[in-house]
């Protein structure tokens, strides 16, 4: 694989996570448990969409075919999306949303810390900006995990169920393939597999403070590195891409 | 209304400092189950567009407010005593603000 092809896949992977998760968090708008939380979740959605925009703009530039970040977001087929399966999972109840956010934000906090040292100046600059937002998302998610886990009997039960249900999507975060190897050798991006130890020990700390138990490693879902997704991504894209597909180049 | 229970979390008053060294100003209030959640909610509600650099939070029931019934007794007596205002001095030349 050429350097350019590998860099394109890497940037699509990095851009699609915040794009899809931002879309998911945006679905909470006007439906969150309280007004302040409605603002918090949609604030995070805006952080994520902003990050997706700059990364996909860079992906379009790397691709060099004259596409824009909007083309990549609104006119790309499902099989060419490379977000982790975790972020396309439905919002569920508030605990499901918090568990999903905890897993991904903890992962991103380690990934983007390494990405700040990237030899690719654009990715390094993006990482420096994103890490501040990621730290806040992680604080928000871990504070809520602790309060729900160590809260009432019902909140504890729901939080533990959410952790258990989403656990099988965490293995994929640390999958490392040829593209990651190639990018790591060029000093552009970290190897996901190397972040697992730190991630797991953070999960142990947070979950034990929350009086929750860490599931066994068990069966892990896989597929998104090759563009194979769960049934949910198609619906998200139908929602997100409908307008551009039905009325190409529509203007306000 | 006596059967209507307040299911919202406690209220906190939010004070924001727009830049270091300036006084904190009251911005509004937020709900929060405890001080950490209240702080996050204050940040998400009042600091979305570069409003400031620092936050103070005070539980609303810790604010002691004057009673509106006392307004006459508290505030009116100072109305008609112009000599309480330092407006009878000549400004020294060159002093911009006193």
Of A34, A35, A140, the CB nearest to B40: A140
> Is the Cβ of B40 closer than 8 Å to some Cβ of chain A?
yes
Q: Tell whether A154 is within 8 A of chain B (Cβ).
A: no
B9 at the A interface (CB within 8 A)? yes
Phi, psi (rounded to 5 degrees) for B58: -135, 130
Show the tokens assigned to A243.
Answer: 């307008």
pLDDT (tens, 9 = 90+) of chain A, 252 residues, equals: 899 999 999 999 999 999 999 999 999 999 999 999 999 999 999 999 999 999 999 999 999 999 999 999 999 999 999 999 999 999 999 999 999 999 999 999 999 999 999 999 999 999 999 999 999 999 999 999 999 999 999 999 999 999 999 999 999 999 999 999 999 999 999 999 999 999 999 999 999 999 999 999 899 999 999 999 999 999 999 999 999 999 998 887
pLDDT at B1 over 60: no
Q: What residues in B contact A40, CB-CB < 8 Å?
A: 40-41, 44
Residues of A with Cβ-Cβ distance to B40 under 8 angstroms? 40, 139-140, 143
Residue B41 Cα, gap to closest chain A Cα (Å): 6
- Per-residue pLDDT at A3: 95
Q: Give residue-wise pLDDT tens across range B4-56.
A: 677 789 999 999 999 999 999 999 999 999 999 999 999 999 988 878 899 99
pLDDT of residue B79: 72
Domains of chain A: 3-246 (1.20.1260.10)
B31, B36, B48 ranked by CB distance to A36: nearest? B31
CB contact under 8 A, A36 and B48: no
**B51 shares contact with chain A (CB less than 8 Å):** no
Name the CATH superfamily, with its identifier, for domain B11-84.
Phenylacetic acid degradation B (3.10.20.520)
Contact predicate A148/A98, CB 8 Å? yes
How many angstroms separate the CA of residue A39 from the nearest CA in chain B? 6
B30 and chain A in contact, CB less than 8 A: yes
Any B CB within 8 A of A246 CB? no
**Most distant pair of Cα atoms in chain B: their distance:** 67
CA proximity to A58, closest of A237, A252, A188: A188
Q: Where are the alpha helices (DSSP H) in chain A?
A: 3-26, 35-63, 69-74, 85-88, 94-115, 121-149, 153-166, 178-185, 196-209, 231-246
Cα B41 from Cα B31, distance rounded (Å): 7
Chain Cα centroid distance, residue A165: 17
> Does any CB of chain B come closer than 8 Å to the CB of residue A152?
no
Long-range contacts (CB closer than 8 Å, 24 or more residues apart) made by A129-135: A129/A51, A130/A51, A133/A44, A133/A47, A133/A51, A134/A105, A134/A108, A134/A109, A135/A109
Question: Residue B16: which of B5, B31, B27 has the closest Cα?
Answer: B27
Find the closest chain B residue to A148 by CA distance. B33
What residue ranges do the domains of chain B occupy?
11-84
| Optimal mutation site among A36, A50, A132, A150, interface B, most CBs of chain B within 10 A | A36
Chain A residue numbers touching B8 (CB-CB < 8 A): 34
Q: Do A143 and B44 touch (CB under 8 A)?
A: no
B32: closest chain A residue by CA:
A36
Q: From residue A88, how far is each of A26, A39, A156, A224 by CA, in Å?
A: 12, 21, 24, 10
Beta strand pairing status for B11-17 and B25-31? antiparallel
CB distance A100 to A89 below 8 Å: yes
Consecutive H or E run containing B57 = strand B54-59
Structure confidence by residue, pLDDT tens digits, A163-210: 999 999 999 999 999 999 999 999 999 999 999 999 999 999 999 999
Contact check, Cβ <8 Å, B45/A36 = yes
């Amino acid at each position: 694989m050429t350097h350019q092809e590998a860099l394109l896949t890497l940037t699509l992977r990095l851009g699609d996570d915040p794009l899809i998760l931002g879309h998911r968090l945006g679905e909470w708008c006007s439906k969150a448990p309280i007004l302040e939380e409605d603002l918090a979740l949609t604030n995070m959605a805006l952080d994520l969409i902003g990050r997706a925009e700059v990364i996909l703009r860079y992906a379009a530039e790397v691709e060099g075919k004259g596409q824009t970040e909007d083309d990549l977001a609104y006119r790309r087929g499902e099989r060419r999306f490379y977000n982790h399966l975790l972020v396309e999972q439905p919002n569920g109840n508030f605990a499901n949303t918090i568990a999903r956010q905890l897993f991904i934000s903890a992962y991103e906090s380690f990934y983007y810390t390494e990405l700040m040292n990237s030899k690719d100046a654009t990715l390094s600059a993006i990482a420096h900006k994103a890490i501040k937002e990621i730290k806040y998302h992680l604080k928000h998610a871990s504070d809520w995990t602790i309060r729900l886990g160590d809260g009432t009997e019902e909140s504890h039960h729901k939080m533990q169920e959410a952790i258990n249900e989403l656990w099988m999507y965490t293995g994929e975060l640390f999958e490392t393939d040829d593209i990651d190897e190639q990018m790591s050798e060029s000093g552009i991006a970290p190897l996901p597999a190397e972040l697992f130890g730190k991630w797991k020990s953070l999960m142990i700390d947070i979950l034990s403070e929350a009086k929750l138990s860490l599931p066994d490693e068990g069966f892990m879902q896989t597929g998104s590195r090759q563009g194979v997704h769960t049934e949910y991504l198609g619906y998200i894209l139908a929602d997100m891409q409908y307008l551009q597909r039905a009325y190409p180049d529509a203007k306000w | 209304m006596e059967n209507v229970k307040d299911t919202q979390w406690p209220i906190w008053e939010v004070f924001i400092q727009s830049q270091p060294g300036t006084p904190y100003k009251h911005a509004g209030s937020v709900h929060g189950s405890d001080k950490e959640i209240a702080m996050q909610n204050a940040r998400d509600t009042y600091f979305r567009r570069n409003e400031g650099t620092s936050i103070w939070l005070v539980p609303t029931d810790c604010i002691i407010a004057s009673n509106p019934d006392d307004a006459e007794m508290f505030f009116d007596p100072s109305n008609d005593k112009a000599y309480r205002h330092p407006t009878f001095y000549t400004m020294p030349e060159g002093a911009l603000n006193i």
